[in-house]
Amino acid sequence: MSWITLGSIAGQPPDTGGYALSAYVILCGILAVYSLSLWIRIRKAGGSEP
């Protein structure tokens, strides 16, 4: 498959919601942990929280 169209077509879509939700949970987790680590670094270096 070299060309994919993401536009909607008629029919019943496959049930892949669990994969989408897992990806967004991982994504939010990575961003939350990184943001928290920056906040800790700022505190340790003597700055106040953003």
Partner 1 sequence: MSLKHACRVLWILALPANLIAMWMVFAYAPVEMQMGAVQKIFYYHVSSAISGYVMVFLAFCFSIAFIWKERRGWDILAHAAAEVGWIFLSIVIITGPVWGRAAWGKWWVWEPRLTTALILWFMYTAYVLLRSMAQDEERQAKMAAVLAIVAFFDVPIVNRAVAWWGSTVHPQRVGLSPEMKVTFVTSMGAVLLLASALFITRVWAGKLEAVKRDGEIEEKA
36 touches partner 1 by CB under 8 A: no
Residues 33 and 39 sit within 8 Å (Cβ to Cβ): no
32 touches partner 1 by CB under 8 A: no
DSSP state string for 12-49: PPP--HHHHHHHHHHHHHHHHHHHHHHHHHHHHTTPPP
Size of the site for partner 1 (CB under 8 A): 37
30 touches partner 1 by CB under 8 A: yes
42 touches partner 1 by CB under 8 A: yes
Report, in Å, the least distance between residue 16 CB and partner 1: 4
